[in-house]
Amino acid sequence: MAAANNPSINRAQIAQLVRESLRRHVQNGTSPQASQGPNPLVVNISARHCHLSQESVETLFGKGHQLTPKKWLYQEGQYAAEESVTLIGPRSRVISNLRILGPCRDFDQVELAATDAISLGFKVPVRNSGDIAGTPGCMLMGPAGFLEMNEGVIRAAPHVHMAPEDAAFYGVENKSFMKLRVGGDVGVTFDRIFVRVDPSFKLEVHIDTDEGNACGFSQDVPCELIK
């Protein structure tokens, strides 16, 4: 810390040196400093759900229908809607009460865990949200009609939302990858956590139900992001 006594180094440079030192400790596994970043790390399991356009909502629920928030999610402005649909898979097997997440988007997308896809007869790729070209389609049924999706069924890649200050702390960029170390009795490290950076984001990792079960995740299990 002798550099802190050097009058030629200003406060911002000292802060940068401290951040670099913390990152080195995290990368070496010597201290869980990820929790001491600018924002607390939250890890949540994302259960199967769908995102729909306003046009598709009206096809399924009637002309002019607007989604109704049921539960607000951790990310600002995102919610689980009161509305749900029935998904019909290629083997004519169904998932009822598939929750819609709002607000509406400009594309339709269904996110399933691997076991969901297998039970329905899907072979779905691991994709980032919005990357739906060449993915399987499905049929959705609502109280007012049917929606045939030609594509859009995916297994969502595990990912982390973060603000620019979080990205600076961890030393990562948008669309890069990190690792998530999950403690507990099983002790699993996910090697490819896709990074999404936006000023509106809160620091949150999303894994699906299969991934959560595999690593024995619960809110009491310590988790650490690693570059």
Q: Which of 106, 90, 93 is nearest to 57 (CA)?
A: 106
Q: Where are the alpha helices (DSSP H) in the chain?
A: 11-27, 54-61, 114-120, 164-170, 209-214
What mean pLDDT comes out for the span 90-99? 92
Instruction: Give the domain ranges of the chain.
Output: 31-44+158-226, 47-156
| CATH (one of 2.60.40, 2.40.40, 3.40.630, 1.10.1060) for 31-44+158-226 | 2.40.40
What mean pLDDT comes out for the span 192-212? 98
Check the CA dihedral 59-65-71-77 and report its sign: positive
List beta partners, residue 162.
197
Q: What is the pLDDT of residue 7?
A: 47
Q: What is the pLDDT of residue 22?
A: 44
Task: Answer for the pair 210, 177: CB distance below 8 angstroms, yes or no.
Answer: no
Q: Which of 110, 100, 112, 99 is nearest to 54 (CA)?
A: 100
Percent of the chain with pLDDT over 90: 82
**Tell me, what DSSP letter sits at residue 158?**
P
- pLDDT tens digits along 38-52: 999 999 999 999 999
Q: What is the pLDDT of residue 2?
A: 45
Residue 16 has pLDDT above 80, yes or no: no
